[in-house]
Amino acid sequence: MLSPLADAEGVILLSFICIVFFMQTFVDDVGSFPLPQHVERKSFEEAYRLARAWAVEGRDFAENEFLYKNFYEVVVASFRMKLAAGLDVANYPQHYDICRQFTETIHKAMEKGTYVVDEKDAIIPEVYVISREAKRLCKEFGVEKIALRTCVTGPLELYLKEIGTTPYQDVFLMFAETVRKFAKNSLLNSKRVKTEVVSLDEPSFGFREVSADKDTIMKVLEKAFDFNGAVRQIHLHSPSRIAEILEVKNIDVVSIEYAASPKNLECVSKGSLEKADKKIRVGISRTDIDTIMAELHEKGIAKPQVWEMVEDEHTIKRRFEKAKERFGEKMTFTGPDCGLGGWPTQEAAQLLLKRTVNAVKKING
């Protein structure tokens, strides 16, 4: 039996570990990633549609050479690059259009007169691939378990894409239920991989949006986020209506962009997060590649090298320090502003991830 002193020391140690865990800021990524240069987009997209059907049926992709080469191997190779960058939580590599990825399945449901997809069809094929490769990847990277992040395009964005700006609440809620099913089915918890974060992405919210009142928006998001088993993030490009988002009860983390939009930091305070019992993810490295390339061109760099496209670690570190100073322990996640699908090469995108990870680790230790 342990002595009272040993018990007390154990409690102190456990408390210390908990404090460190909750104070640390984890580095994740938003999702999209460039295709390998040797892969034709047309072939990948054809393979993607086939992969969706095979994943629903639980089939082995190795049985189809075209599918295996143009989808399975592509996803594994891209995810490997993310893991090699040192991310604490890596999103599956999103190479497909963020709306079509889900609306094509919704179109199948519409043939039956509904916008709610069948449970069995609400599958993200990239997540299916990662679940099958997790053991091999763990061995390769010397880790016990892969921490996975999955992104699902949110109900507001999908509704806007498919229906428009006029809100029909019953239809709106159908989209929310479909998103909930995709999110729920992406939750992995096996010996080698666990979905730690599920993010619903709402890039248009705050810019161009459905003409719905606050109560409708909250009801739709509450329904979409009605699942457990992972940290629930919402990723926003505009924080102009973040006060409403903070009132959605089952959102755990709000994600904002800061690197390319410094004023966004002023749109939310630590006090408002505390009042709403929410955490925050802050983007600290720029991903707006078109603007970056234009700025380099103005400096006379017409054909920049990979290392010139990516901000230096000092710049990223300085942003992280400023955001951490503002939000403290409420800032539980950080990483790039947005996805990297538009970047010219995978090597450039991976370098951005590496520099972001290194900048944060210099502070986190």
pTM: 0.91
Which pLDDT score is estimated for 4?
41
Condensed to tens digits (0 to 9), the pLDDT of residues 10-55 reads: 443 434 333 444 468 999 999 999 999 999 999 999 999 999 999 9
Residue 19 inside a domain? The answer is no
Helix, strand and coil in the chain, % to nearest 5 = 55, 15, 35
Residue 54 inside a domain? The answer is yes
Task: Specify the length of the chain in residues.
Answer: 365
Contact 258, 211 (CB under 8 A): no
User: Helices 214-224 & 169-185, crossing angle to 10 degrees?
Assistant: 30
Helix (H, G, I), strand (E, B) or coil at 39: coil
Q: Which two tokens stand for residue 109?
A: 């449901």
Residue 5 inside a domain? The answer is no
Contact 236, 202 (CB under 8 A): yes
Which pLDDT score is estimated for 365?
64
Residue 252 inside a domain? The answer is yes
C-alpha to C-alpha distance for 229 and 208, rounded to whole angstroms: 31
C-alpha to C-alpha distance for 236 and 248, rounded to whole angstroms: 14
Residue 315 inside a domain? The answer is yes
- Residue 47 sits in a domain whose CATH number is 3.20.20.210
Contact 75, 24 (CB under 8 A): no
Residue 168 inside a domain? The answer is yes
CB atoms within 10 A of CB 9: 12
Residue 102 inside a domain? The answer is yes
Which pLDDT score is estimated for 173?
98
Total domains in the fold of the chain? 1
Mean predicted lDDT score pLDDT of the chain: 93
Residue 12 inside a domain? The answer is no
Helix (H, G, I), strand (E, B) or coil at 143: coil
Condensed to tens digits (0 to 9), the pLDDT of residues 332-361 reads: 999 999 999 999 999 999 999 999 999 999
Burial profile 276-315: b = 16 or more Cβ within 10 angstroms, e = fewer = bebbbbbbbbbbbbeebbeebeeeeeeebeeeebbbebeb
Which pLDDT score is estimated for 21?
40
Domain of 146, in residue numbers? 25-364
Which pLDDT score is estimated for 24?
84
Per-residue pLDDT of the chain (365 residues; tens, 9 = 90+): 344 434 444 443 434 333 444 468 999 999 999 999 999 999 999 999 999 999 999 999 999 999 999 999 999 999 999 999 999 999 999 999 999 999 999 999 999 999 999 999 999 999 999 999 999 999 999 999 999 999 999 999 999 999 999 999 999 999 999 999 999 999 999 999 999 999 999 999 999 888 999 999 999 999 999 999 999 999 999 999 999 999 999 999 999 999 999 999 999 999 999 999 999 999 999 999 999 999 999 999 999 999 999 999 999 999 999 999 999 999 999 999 999 999 999 999 999 999 999 999 988 76
